[in-house]
């Protein structure tokens, strides 16, 4: 129970005056206030409350997704490593802004459909890791602050499922094919993030007709950088799948376009169709070009 201490004490014979009565009340103090003394409707403003500065004053179990306003947090407000950890904030809670990930000794706990990014000390350096699902397998993403060799930075793809006519011829001789030979079947652009990275191009086309070929042309030249061909024979209905793989250094950070030209030695070929131009496999058959940027 709260205790009121009066602001003035009168002696037995002391004369009472207005000023002394004011002092009795105005200088009085209240101490020992407990929770029971505060009404449920008191509505004390948070501006009247002191900031919590002592560690471990809020139990981890008391912080929930619904109760924690993550938008109000910034990484600059995290005073020290371990102040906010994956175990004290559960579920999907949004984004901590400020560009800072606190280094922790062990990976965060993830559920069956969850993954988590975290940093861990490796030889005195904070490195980026990823932990996937409940198995808890850790993958180190950076070494000495840069992405590991072999890391895929980006993947872009173009896929075509419709039948297209390929009327241009591609002579199957010992000359380098050019963009004036065959018909443009697929194209894909990519903008590398680093000039030192590698680009991996993977092409697959379903083509109908005898003697099909395809070649890959890269921005900056009409000459092909890679080519493949096949001979199918003289059957009534011919079609095959041609594949092509190509590696090249990014060489810069400007946009690069890869074009795929396809056709027969002579005559008309069909993309995603047989040699008569008939669609195959109900429209689920496809031709595609995929370009990946890879750290080296």
Split at pLDDT 50, 70, 90, the class of 285 is very high
What pLDDT, on the 0 to 100 scale, is given for residue 180? 97
What pLDDT, on the 0 to 100 scale, is given for residue 74? 46
pLDDT at 234 over 70: no
What pLDDT, on the 0 to 100 scale, is given for residue 183? 98
Rounded Cα gap, residues 138 and 131, in angstroms:
5
Lowest mean pLDDT among 116-125, 129-138, 198-207, 262-271: 129-138
For 182, other C-beta atoms within 10 Å of its C-beta total 27
pLDDT, greater one: 225 or 88:
225
| pLDDT per residue as tens digits for the range 74-130 | 444 444 444 444 444 444 344 444 555 666 667 777 667 777 778 888 888 888 888
Rounded Cα gap, residues 286 and 288, in angstroms:
7
pLDDT, greater one: 67 or 58:
58
Mean residue pLDDT of the chain comes to: 83
What pLDDT, on the 0 to 100 scale, is given for residue 64? 62
Q: What share of the chain in percent tops pLDDT 90?
A: 44
Q: How far apart are the first and last CA of the chain?
A: 71
Q: Do residues 263 and 196 touch, judged by C-beta distance below 8 A?
A: no
Rounded Cα gap, residues 157 and 187, in angstroms:
9
pLDDT, greater one: 150 or 259:
259
Highest mean pLDDT: which range of 110-119, 128-137, 143-152? 143-152
What pLDDT, on the 0 to 100 scale, is given for residue 97? 46
Q: Do residues 192 and 261 touch, judged by C-beta distance below 8 A?
A: no
| Domains (range + CATH), the chain | 3-37 (no CATH), 153-294 (2.60.120.1340)
Split at pLDDT 50, 70, 90, the class of 23 is confident
Rounded Cα gap, residues 175 and 223, in angstroms:
10
Split at pLDDT 50, 70, 90, the class of 267 is very high
pLDDT at 158 over 80: yes
Q: Is the pTM of this model over 0.75?
A: no
Q: What share of the chain in percent tops pLDDT 70?
A: 80
């Amino acid at each position: 129970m709260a205790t009121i201490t009066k602001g003035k004490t009168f002696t037995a014979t002391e004369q009472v005056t207005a000023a002394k009565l004011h002092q009795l009340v105005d200088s009085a103090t209240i101490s020992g206030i407990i929770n029971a003394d505060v009404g449920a409707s008191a509505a004390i403003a948070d501006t009247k409350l002191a900031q919590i500065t002592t560690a471990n004053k809020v139990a981890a179990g008391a912080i929930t997704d619904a109760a924690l306003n993550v938008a109000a947090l910034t990484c600059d407000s995290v005073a020290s490593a371990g102040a906010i950890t994956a175990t004290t904030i559960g579920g999907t809670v949004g984004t901590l802004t400020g560009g800072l990930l606190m280094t922790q000794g062990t990976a965060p706990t993830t559920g069956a459909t969850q993954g988590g990014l975290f940093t861990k000390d490796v030889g005195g350096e904070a490195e980026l890791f990823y932990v996937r699902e409940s198995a808890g397998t850790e993958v180190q993403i950076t070494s000495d602050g840069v992405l590991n060799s072999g890391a895929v930075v980006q993947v872009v793809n173009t896929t075509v499922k419709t039948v297209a006519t390929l009327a241009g011829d591609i002579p199957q001789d010992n000359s380098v094919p050019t963009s004036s030979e065959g018909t443009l079947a697929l194209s894909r652009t990519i903008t590398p993030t680093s000039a030192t990275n590698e680009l991996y191009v993977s092409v697959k086309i379903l083509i109908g007709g005898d003697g099909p070929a395809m070649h890959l042309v890269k921005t900056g030249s009409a000459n092909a950088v890679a080519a493949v061909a096949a001979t199918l024979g003289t059957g009534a209905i011919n079609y095959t799948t041609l594949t092509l793989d190509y590696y090249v250094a990014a060489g810069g950070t400007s946009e690069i376009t890869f074009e795929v030209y396809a056709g027969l030695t002579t005559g008309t070929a069909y993309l995603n169709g047989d040699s008569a131009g008939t669609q195959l496999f109900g429209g689920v058959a496809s031709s595609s070009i995929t370009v990946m940027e890879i750290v080296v």
